[in-house]
């Protein structure tokens, strides 16, 4: 997994590339730290280029959601397709993450 | 390592003294010249070493190494009967002695000779005439390296053992043959299953129970992640669930209670995807609640379809509630529960199989017994991924409703 954070007027976009799985735990947490330091007013996870999210990946989204709630910014996801979209729907996390 | 400090250490480049375990090391000094052995022994004794043994030729050295394995060998190259090269080669060939550090001491100075010394398996080299502080520094360094490696190896072996034990304990929570036989309700249902723990510890579990003479409860769950934390969470969920026997015939309520029981105990980002259902062998109804487990497949030879298993995973969100759904499983139809390793499996190009791909597999293999079907699906998985070593747990549970 790779990611890029873009920010414009307090609105952050994190664009992910590759799989978001258990083994990406450390990278994902590093991303959250970086994101937290930017103190955005909102953040969108762009999942257009993500092929696979496993259950640990979904767990990381939950952690991100908690970060967002604590940090006072709105978190949403966009661009989920195929397997990623069905995982979000299957676990109802799409409801929590304002897809 | 011990923190005992030797007061009379004279090894250069050290801020602190040598540990007692280093000074207790047995050192074999091999040289055909008595004066050389004496000089090396003296310098080691001065530094605090006391467990010294000596050999005056290579063949004697090999014998001594066999009988009283040293922690390091200080070895001369040119000796009358057996050269240091030969000693090195012999030690390295034998698994029992392959890792003993060998410090060569020789007047050999050409580049080729030095290369040869390392080629036959020496650990290090000091030139003659011997510079005593250098000899000491090298001896200590190699002894410490060996001690560190030994302690890492024994630690790794212990961790491996504990993980194996944990894996075994996890497998013991799976239903026994007797329990499965009871769940078949006297031949009304036929259950086939396969569980394979991943190379790491995983968090899959399935099981069930007889509710009455025509109904069983059946669950499959997958705790997020791998490793010890995920295995411990599997035990926690299993323990919580078995306490909820009052709700075994009410799937949605069972998941709600299970989730409430776990909330606050599972750390953030940890949860389990789950499906629990009650199968009535008499009328074929399967009343179930989903918590994000992979959608089960209902099939026979004529078709295969998914059933909706969406819902919040347990342990993820406090006060989650669950929907109860009912489907009908016809006579001679089957229900298949499976873990995500199937649909997330990748081929050599990195493409994932996906739900639909897996359903096609099931459909293609439908016309056979449950056991044969499960083994065929496993074979397809191994063929697709090109390995039989899974990086996530595998669970396949197949229940066929008989005509009885």
Query: Where do the structural domains in chain B lie, given as residue ranges?
Result: 20-161, 173-401
Worst-scoring range by mean pLDDT, A1-5, A19-23, B192-196? Answer: A19-23
Instruction: Report the alpha-carbon distance of residue B74 to residue B10 in Å, rounded.
Output: 19
The mean pLDDT value for B319-331 works out to 95
Query: Peptide bond before B129: cis, by omega within 30 degrees of 0?
Result: yes
- Examine the pLDDT at B14 and tell me if it is beyond 70: no
Rounded Cα distance, B260 and B273, in Å: 15
Asked whether the predicted pLDDT for residue B5 surpasses 70, the reply is no
Cα distance between residue A44 and residue A5, in whole Å: 10
How far is residue B22's CA from residue B141's CA, in Å, rounded to a whole number? 10
Name every residue whose Cβ is closer than 8 Å to that of residue B215 and which is 6 or more positions away in sequence.
Answer: B249, B278, B279, B280, B281, B282
Half-sphere exposure of B358 (CA within 13 A, CB side): 27
Report CB contact under 8 Å: B312, A91.
yes
Q: Mean per-residue pLDDT for B247-268?
A: 91
Q: What is the DSSP letter of B175?
A: P
CB within 8 A of B50, min separation 6: which ones? B23, B24
Q: Tell which B residues from 18 to 57 touch A, by Cβ distance under 8 Å.
A: none
Exposed/middle/buried for residue B229 (C-beta within 10 Å: 0-12, 13-18, 19+): middle
Q: What is the pLDDT of residue B7?
A: 44
- Averaged over B210-226, what is the pLDDT? 93
Q: What pairing do the DSSP bridges indicate for beta strands B334-338 and B394-401?
A: antiparallel
Q: Which pLDDT does position A98 carry in this prediction?
A: 72
State which residue of chain B sits closest to A60, comparing Cα positions.
B269
Kindly list the distances between the CA atom of residue B72 and the CA atoms of B30, B81, B151, in Å, as whole numbers in the listed order.
Answer: 11, 21, 16
Q: Show the domain range for A53.
A: 2-96
Q: Which helix (H) or strand (E) holds B144?
A: helix B132-172
For the four alpha carbons of B166, B210, B392 and A56, in that order, the dihedral sign comes to negative
Q: Has the ipTM of the complex gone over 0.95?
A: no
CATH of domain B20-161: 3.40.50.2300
Does B268 score more than 90 pLDDT? no
pLDDT category, A96, cuts 50, 70, 90?
Answer: confident
- Helix B251-262 to helix B228-242 angle, to the nearest 10 degrees? 130
Confidence of residue B2 (pLDDT cuts 50, 70, 90): very low
Most distant CA pair in chain A, distance = 34
Assign A2 a pLDDT band (cuts: 50, 70, 90): very high
Chain B residues touching residue A66 (CB < 8 angstroms) = 268
* Least Cα separation, residue A86 to chain B (angstroms): 9
Local confidence band at B322 (pLDDT 50, 70, 90 cut-offs) = very high
Domain containing residue A66: CATH number: 3.30.750.24
Q: For residue B235, count other CB atoms closer than 10 A to its CB.
A: 16
> What is the C-alpha to C-alpha distance for residues B366 and B375, in angstroms, rounded to an integer?
12
Q: How many domains does chain A have?
A: 1
* Minimum-distance CB partner of A90 among B224, B309, B344: B309
Q: Give the one of B225, B352, B355 whose C-beta lies nearest to A22's C-beta.
A: B225
Q: What SS3 class is residue B16?
A: coil
Q: Which residues of A touch B355 (CB under 8 A)?
A: 83, 86
Closest C-alpha among B162, B275, B153 to residue B227: B162
* Positions of E strands within B149-252: 189-196, 204-212, 215-223
CB atoms within 10 A of CB A8: 8
Query: Is B343 near chain A, with CB under 8 Å?
Result: yes
Tokens representing B127 are 């030139």
What gap in Å lies between CA B359 and CA B339, rounded to an integer? 13
CATH topology of domain B173-401: Phosphatase 2c; domain 1 (3.60.40)
Q: Do B344 and A83 touch (CB under 8 A)?
A: yes
CB A76 within 8 A of CB A98: yes
CB contact under 8 A, B225 and A60: no
């Amino acid at each position: 997994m790779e990611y890029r954070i873009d920010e414009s007027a307090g609105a952050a976009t994190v664009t992910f590339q590759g799989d978001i799985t258990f083994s990406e735990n450390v990278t994902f947490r590093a991303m959250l730290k970086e994101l937290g330091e930017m103190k955005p007013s909102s953040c969108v996870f762009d999942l257009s280029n993500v092929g696979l999210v496993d259950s640990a990946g979904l767990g990381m989204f939950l952690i991100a959601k908690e970060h967002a709630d604590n940090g006072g910014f709105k978190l949403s996801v966009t661009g989920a397709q195929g397997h990623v979209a069905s995982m979000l729907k299957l676990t109802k996390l799409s409801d929590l993450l304002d897809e | 390592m011990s923190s005992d400090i030797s007061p009379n250490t004279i090894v250069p480049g050290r801020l602190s003294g040598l540990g007692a375990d280093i000074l207790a090391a047995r050192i074999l000094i091999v040289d055909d010249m008595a004066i050389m052995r004496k000089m090396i022994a003296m310098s080691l004794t001065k530094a605090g070493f006391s467990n010294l043994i000596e050999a005056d030729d290579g063949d004697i050295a090999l014998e001594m190494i066999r009988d009283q394995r040293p922690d390091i060998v200080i070895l001369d190259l040119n000796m009358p009967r057996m050269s240091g090269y030969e000693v090195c080669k012999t030690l390295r060939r034998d698994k029992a002695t392959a890792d003993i550090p060998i410090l060569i001491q020789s007047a050999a100075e050409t580049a080729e000779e030095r290369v040869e010394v390392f080629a036959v398996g020496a650990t290090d080299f000091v030139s003659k005439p011997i510079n005593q502080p250098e000899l000491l520094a090298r001896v200590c360094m190699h002894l410490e390296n060996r001690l560190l490696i030994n302690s890492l190896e024994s630690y790794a072996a212990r961790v491996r053992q504990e993980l194996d034990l944990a894996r075994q304990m996890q497998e013991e929570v799976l239903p026994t043959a007797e329990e499965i036989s009871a769940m078949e309700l006297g031949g009304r249902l036929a259950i086939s299953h396969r569980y394979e723990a991943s190379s790491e510890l995983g968090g899959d579990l399935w099981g069930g129970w007889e509710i009455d003479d025509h109904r069983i409860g059946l669950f499959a769950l997958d705790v997020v992640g791998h490793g010890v934390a995920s295995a411990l969470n599997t035990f926690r969920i299993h323990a919580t669930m078995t306490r909820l026997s009052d709700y075994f015939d009410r799937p949605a309520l069972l998941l709600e209670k299970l989730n409430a029981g776990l909330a606050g105990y599972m750390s953030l980002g940890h949860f389990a995807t789950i499906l629990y259902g009650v199968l009535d062998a008499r009328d074929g109804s399967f009343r179930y609640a989903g918590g994000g487990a992979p959608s089960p497949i209902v099939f026979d030879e004529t078709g295969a379809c998914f059933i909706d298993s969406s819902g919040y995973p347990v342990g993820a969100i406090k006060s989650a509630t669950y929907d109860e759904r009912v489907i009908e499983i016809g006579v001679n139809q089957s229900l298949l529960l499976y873990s995500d390793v199937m649909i997330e499996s990748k081929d050599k190009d990195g493409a994932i199989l996906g739900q639909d791909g897996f359903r096609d597999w099931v459909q293609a293999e439908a016309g056979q017994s449950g056991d044969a079907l499960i083994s065929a699906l496993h074979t397809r998985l191994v063929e697709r991924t090109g390995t039989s070593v899974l990086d996530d747990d595998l669970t396949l549970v197949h229940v066929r409703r008989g005509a009885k």
